[in-house]
């Protein structure tokens, strides 16, 4: 048994028919009947003929999706349908591929489905599986994290049991008191080790906002606990140790001293929420390397195999002694065709994990990379210009989405409502005269404006008002959270409400 996601269109346009008629439905209406199509190449040929203006990458992507829908999905497999209500329907495949020639263009390719659960709330599914459900593809397999068995469990018992290989110990730490209890039961040589992600979950948090960090710091101080490295450093998947800071000395030393684990002198002080070098995943991945005394041929071979531009050169303790790159190899070989690794090794800069990332951007821009050292001075990562580009895209995207939503709301409100109506939703001590257009409204004011039935009717939108307002409220909360800095990236699942609302606004008012 396998598990699949089959979406009901970008705006959920096939959702009602899928649920009412017991179907999984995909689009590609210009394609025609696929009943006699036997291979990937056959599907690709049909797509090329039906969509001659599409590029090869798009055709290859569509080919894979249709191959899954036509051939790979089998009777007995499970299908998950993401709903516009923000939940999921789950069913079992009970029929082979069918082509409905009489149906509308976007409703012709179907598989028969027995829907077993029609409105599974997101809260019933663990975050790792929710993340897997996030994709722009119409048809894709849920193949990670034992997804098929877990989806079956949701049908049976209404709850995702989580990964069978997940950290059961971390899952049992459901409160700060439970964490304290676990730490107090351990000896000094056996500290509690936990990922930052699981550590934050004890406080029902998923990102390190300032308020979250403040609360955790206060609780740790009251409980007499400390983390090393600080939980404000590293990526969400980095591991920290939780230690008993407040134990009285036993035999003349504290539990931390007896454990042999190094804790910074200022670690009990509040840790700032900043964008540190260690917050990048690349800073926490030990890079491929060569050792002092290795041959230049081994370095070149490794760089070609891994498609690397540079490698760190380490000593026996894992400390940085320089770097070798294609540029340094070229310069060394120009001076001496028989040059070895030593001649091709050049000086390289190291950033400390706890350094502010902004302080290193100029260096990374100039040289293309910087190595990262751990607290014991050994190399722990390598940050390249490409890593910064990925981070920039990840960080900027939420702001771009929110800005477009606000711009569209402003244009719609200014176009459909008088200034008096706009001013009627102003709250607080703000003077009405200071509001001259929708641009002067707070984001929350749009909800107050559109929840008035007369105002909503004036828009003439063919959408469910209550559902629209609930998504608008989710978007407002997301926006407020975005205004508070966190070093942790937003997942696709966390972005989904914003992307969904923006897609709906584009459909409702395509010309704005």
Whether the predicted pLDDT of 254 surpasses 80: no
Q: How far is CA 417 from CA 382, 436, 461, 510, in A?
A: 54, 12, 14, 18
Indicate the pLDDT class of residue 84, thresholds 50, 70 and 90: confident
Are 130 and 18 contained in the same domain?
Answer: yes
Q: What is the mean pLDDT of residues 291-319?
A: 92
Are 133 and 196 contained in the same domain?
Answer: no
Return the pLDDT at 275.
78
- Choose one of 273, 289, 321: the last residue of a domain: 273
- Choose one of 157, 177, 198: the last residue of a domain: 157
Return the pLDDT at 256.
58
- Give 197's contacts (C-beta < 8 A, 6+ positions apart): 206, 236, 237
Indicate the pLDDT class of residue 360, thresholds 50, 70 and 90: very high
Torsion-angle region of 28 (φ positive above 0: left; ψ -120 to 50: alpha; else: beta):
left
Return the pLDDT at 20.
93
Strands 88-99 and 23-26: unpaired
- Give 262's contacts (C-beta < 8 A, 6+ positions apart): 228, 375, 376
Indicate the pLDDT class of residue 253, thresholds 50, 70 and 90: low
Are 105 and 243 contained in the same domain?
Answer: no
Are 261 and 302 contained in the same domain?
Answer: no
Structure tokens belonging to residue 316: 């026996």
Are 360 and 462 contained in the same domain?
Answer: no
* Residue at token pair 């200014």: 414
- How far apart CA 423 and CA 415 sit, in angstroms, is 14
The answer to the question of residue 482 being in a domain is yes
Structure tokens belonging to residue 105: 């263009």
Q: What is the pLDDT of residues 295-305, one digit of tens each?
A: 999 999 999 99
Q: What percent of the chain has pLDDT over 70?
A: 92
Task: Please give the order of strands across the beta sheet that includes 320-325.
Answer: 290-291, 310-314, 320-325
Whether the predicted pLDDT of 69 surpasses 60: yes
Strands 139-141 and 3-6: antiparallel
Higher pLDDT, 485 or 448: 448
Are 148 and 9 contained in the same domain?
Answer: yes
Are 19 and 115 contained in the same domain?
Answer: yes
Q: What domain range is 233 assigned to?
A: 168-273
Q: What percent of the chain has pLDDT over 90?
A: 37
The answer to the question of residue 471 being in a domain is yes
Q: Which helix (H) or strand (E) holds 178?
A: helix 176-185
Buried b (16+ CB within 10 A) or exposed e, 287-304: bebbeeebebeebbebbe
pTM of the predicted structure, to 2 decimals: 0.51
The answer to the question of residue 162 being in a domain is no
Classify 439 as helix, strand or coil.
helix
Number of domains composing the chain: 4
**Highest mean pLDDT of the ranges 60-69, 135-144, 228-237:** 60-69
Q: What is the mean pLDDT of residues 332-361?
A: 93
Are 130 and 173 contained in the same domain?
Answer: no
Indicate the pLDDT class of residue 273, thresholds 50, 70 and 90: low
Are 173 and 238 contained in the same domain?
Answer: yes
* Neighbour-count burial of 9, counting CB atoms closer than 10 A to its CB (0-12 exposed, 13-18 middle, 19+ buried): middle
Q: What is the mean pLDDT of residues 313-323?
A: 92
CATH number of the domain that 89 lies in?
3.10.590
The answer to the question of residue 383 being in a domain is no
Q: How far is CA 197 from CA 170, 233, 240, 297, in A?
A: 10, 12, 10, 41
The answer to the question of residue 367 being in a domain is yes
Higher pLDDT, 349 or 134: 349
- How far apart CA 499 and CA 86 sit, in angstroms, is 12
The answer to the question of residue 172 being in a domain is yes
Return the pLDDT at 166.
60
Are 263 and 352 contained in the same domain?
Answer: no
Indicate the pLDDT class of residue 147, thresholds 50, 70 and 90: confident
Whether the predicted pLDDT of 511 surpasses 90: no
Are 153 and 197 contained in the same domain?
Answer: no
- Choose one of 97, 128, 157: the last residue of a domain: 157
CATH number of the domain that 346 lies in?
3.10.580.10
Which contacts qualify for 493-498: CB closer than 8 Å, 24 or more apart? 493/127, 493/130, 493/131, 493/133, 493/134, 494/206, 495/397, 495/398, 495/401, 496/134, 497/86, 497/471, 498/398, 498/401, 498/402, 498/405
Are 111 and 134 contained in the same domain?
Answer: yes
Q: What is the pLDDT of residues 320-338, one digit of tens each?
A: 999 999 999 999 999 999 9
């Amino acid at each position: 048994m396998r598990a699949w996601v089959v979406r009901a269109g970008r705006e959920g346009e096939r959702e009602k028919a899928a649920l009412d008629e017991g179907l999984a439905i995909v689009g590609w209406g210009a394609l025609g009947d696929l009943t006699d199509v036997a291979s990937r190449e056959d599907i690709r040929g049909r797509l090329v003929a039906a969509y001659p203006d599409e590029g090869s990458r798009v055709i290859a992507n569509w080919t894979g999706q249709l191959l899954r829908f036509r051939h790979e999905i089998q009777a007995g497999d499970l299908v998950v349908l993401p709903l516009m209500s923000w939940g999921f329907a789950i069913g079992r495949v009970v029929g082979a591929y069918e082509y409905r020639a009489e149906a509308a263009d976007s409703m012709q390719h179907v598989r028969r489905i027995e829907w077993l659960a029609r409105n599974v709330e997101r809260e019933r599914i663990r975050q790792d599986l929710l993340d897997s459900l996030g994709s722009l593809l119409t048809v894709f397999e849920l193949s990670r994290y034992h997804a098929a068995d877990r989806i079956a469990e949701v049908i049976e018992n209404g709850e995702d049991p989580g990964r069978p290989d997940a950290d059961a110990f971390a899952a049992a730490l459901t409160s700060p008191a439970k964490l304290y209890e676990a730490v107090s039961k351990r000896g000094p040589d056996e500290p509690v080790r936990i990922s930052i992600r699981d550590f934050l979950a004890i406080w029902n948090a998923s990102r390190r906002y300032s308020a979250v960090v403040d609360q955790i710091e206060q609780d740790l101080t009251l409980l007499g606990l400390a983390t090393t490295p600080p939980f404000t450093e590293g990526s969400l998947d980095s591991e920290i140790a939780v230690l008993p800071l407040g134990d009285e000395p036993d035999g003349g030393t504290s539990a931390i001293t007896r454990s042999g684990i190094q804790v910074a002198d200022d670690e009990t002080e509040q840790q700032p929420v900043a964008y540190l070098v260690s917050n990048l995943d690349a800073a926490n991945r030990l890079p491929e390397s060569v050792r002092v005394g290795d041959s230049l041929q081994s370095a070149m071979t490794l760089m070609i195999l891994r498609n690397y531009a540079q490698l760190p050169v380490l000593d026996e303790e894992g400390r940085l002694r320089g770097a070798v790159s294609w540029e340094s190899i070229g310069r060394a070989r120009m001076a001496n065709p028989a040059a070895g690794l030593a001649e091709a090794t050049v000086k390289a800069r190291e950033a400390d994990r706890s350094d502010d990332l902004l302080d290193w951007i100029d260096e990374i821009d100039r040289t293309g990379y910087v190595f990262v050292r751990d607290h014991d001075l050994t190399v722990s990562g390598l940050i390249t210009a490409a890593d910064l580009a990925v981070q920039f895209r990840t960080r900027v995207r939420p702001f771009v989405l929110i800005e477009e939503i606000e711009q569209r709301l402003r244009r719609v409100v200014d176009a459909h409502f008088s200034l008096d109506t706009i001013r009627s939703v102003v709250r607080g001590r703000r003077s009405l005269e200071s509001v001259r257009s929708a641009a002067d409204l707070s984001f929350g004011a749009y909800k107050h404006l559109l929840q008035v039935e007369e105002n909503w009717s004036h828009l003439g939108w063919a959408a469910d008002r209550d559902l629209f307002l609930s998504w608008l409220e989710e978007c407002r909360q997301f926006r407020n959270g975005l205004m508070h800095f966190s070093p942790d990236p937003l997942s696709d699942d966390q972005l989904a409400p914003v992307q969904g609302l923006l897609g709906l606004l584009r459909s409702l008012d395509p010309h704005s």
